[in-house]
């Protein structure tokens, strides 16, 4: 199967390797580019745990501190794997979405033990900090990276879509899905997406694809990469 990957690097290339091992042909079209904010070392004094909602968040934090023993609570397996790859030793995964991470934080932490640090990008999905603040926690949200969306499809992606050279598209976030739909419409390729399988990590991702009414939307059983890739079978 020819599969369009919309994730930013370095996750796009890593996922491409997984797809090749499964017998698929990856087509890379990263719709987000990640830049890490430069600045002083991250302020971790008194922090009882770090909250991570994307692999890019833990990579950004790793560039701003040498601390690796602080508890790290991650939204899912991909971000937890990235944390371990960066050398963090106390890592737990919520294996779900932002609501699951909120529940994990309340299970593992108590308000009296100090603030929680939410490492975020310039755009966030959900209100993790707000929900935990209502529950009595102090949450410090530090913006350590930015994700810039593409303003047009690459010529390679356009050609692949126009020629029917793509069987499925992997979409991991609402922002990426919204960008994909917009760029397809900007390129007047809606017709090329008739019957195209758009594989979505969650219902929130699928909700951004209404403009591509001729496509076939499929949603992973659980919001994680493994469940998303199961849709390719």
Q: What is the tens place of the pLDDT at every residue in 47-90?
A: 999 999 999 999 999 999 999 999 999 999 889 999 999 999 99
The enclosing domain of 131 has a CATH number of: 3.40.50.10090
In the listed set 128, 147, 166, which residue is the last one of a domain according to the structure? 147
Residues 114 and 137 in one domain: yes
- The phi, psi pair for 93, rounded to 5°, reads -110, 140
- Please state whether the predicted TM-score (pTM) of the whole model is above 0.75: yes
Structural domain total, the chain: 2
Q: Identify whether residues 139 and 203 lie together within a single domain.
A: no
Q: Same domain, yes or no, for 113 and 46?
A: yes
Last-in-domain residue among 147, 177, 195:
147
Residues 143, 158: one domain? Answer: no
- The mean per-residue pLDDT over the stretch 195-220 comes to 96
One domain for residues 46 and 139: yes
What pLDDT, in 10s, does the model give residues 86-116?
999 999 999 988 999 999 999 999 999 999 9
User: Which residues span the domain enclosing 195?
Assistant: 2-31+151-230
What Å distances lie between residue 123 and 78, 188, 201, CA to CA? 19, 27, 18
Per the CB < 8 A criterion, the answer to whether 56 and 121 are in contact is yes
| Nearest Cα residue to 76 out of 110, 53, 99 | 53
Among the candidates 99, 131, 147, a domain finishes at 147
Residues 27 and 14 placed together within one structural domain of the fold: yes
Taking only the tens place, the pLDDT of each residue in 119-157 is 998 877 778 999 999 999 999 999 999 999 999 999 999
């Amino acid at each position: 199967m020819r599969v369009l990957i919309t994730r930013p690097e370095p996750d796009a290339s890593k996922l491409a390797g997984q797809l090749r091992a499964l017998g698929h042909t990856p087509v890379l079209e990263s719709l987000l580019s990640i830049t890490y904010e430069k600045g002083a070392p991250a302020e971790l004094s008194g922090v009882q745990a770090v909250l991570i909602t994307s692999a890019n968040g833990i990579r950004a934090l790793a560039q701003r501190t040498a601390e690796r023993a602080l508890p790290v609570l991650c939204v899912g397996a991909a971000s937890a794997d990235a944390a371990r790859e960066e050398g963090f030793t106390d890592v737990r995964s919520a294996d779900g979405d932002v609501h699951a991470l909120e529940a994990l934080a309340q299970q593992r932490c108590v308000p009296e033990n100090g603030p929680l640090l939410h490492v975020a990008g310039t755009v966030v999905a959900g209100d993790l900090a707000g929900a935990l603040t209502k529950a009595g926690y102090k949450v410090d949200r530090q913006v350590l990276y930015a994700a810039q969306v593409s303003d047009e499809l690459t010529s390679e992606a356009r050609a692949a879509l126009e020629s029917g050279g793509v069987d499925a598209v992997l979409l991991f976030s609402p922002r990426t899905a919204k960008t994909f739909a917009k760029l397809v419409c900007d390129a007047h390729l809606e017709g090329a997406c008739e019957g195209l399988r758009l594989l979505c990590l969650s219902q929130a991702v699928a909700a951004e694809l209404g403009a591509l009414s001729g496509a076939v939307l499929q949603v992973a059983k659980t919001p994680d990469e493994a469940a998303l890739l199961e849709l390719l079978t």
